[in-house]
Amino acid sequence: MVLIIGGAYQGKLEYACERYPEAPVIQCGERDPELELPDGDCIINAFHLFVLAQVRAEKNASDYLTRHMGVLRNKIIVCDDISCGIVPMSPEERQWRESVGRCLGLLSGNADSVIRLFCGIAGVIK
């Protein structure tokens, strides 16, 4: 598994598509709390929106990841790092932020590689 993280609009998806041109892109949405994943390689884009959908559906995204970790082993996961900045006032947004952090911790622990993009420049963390 490859985990690509960074702030919004830092070039994460473009970087993933350049490095893995044959991998299809699966776009996450904030209204879809389930992911349909192919068996082979793919790029899962906007993973943070999947976590938001899980929060809104009152589901635990970390539990979902634990149950599906075997399927995620050969995936490229692209996720915004939403942990920086002012703590949100909304309870839902705070829960989302915490859940994304927990998921990124779980994913990074299981990933073969973790890459952080900042201003389009990749820094390998793991």
- CA quadruple 54, 59, 60, 64: dihedral positive or negative? negative
pLDDT digits (tens, 9 = 90+) for 33-57: 888 888 889 999 999 999 999 999 9
Per-residue pLDDT, 35: 83
Position 30 pLDDT exceeds 90: no
- Domain with 49 in it: 2-124
Question: Ramachandran region of residue 44, left (φ > 0), alpha (ψ -120 to 50) or beta?
Answer: beta
Q: What's the 3-state SS for 71-103?
A: HHCCCEEEEECCCCCCCCCCHHHHHHHHHHHHH
Residues 95-120: tens digit of each pLDDT = 999 999 999 999 999 999 999 999 99
Average pLDDT over the chain reads 93
Return the SS3 of 19. Answer: helix
- Report the domain count for the chain: 1
**CATH code for the domain in which residue 99 is found:** 3.40.50.300
Strand partners of residue 80 = 6
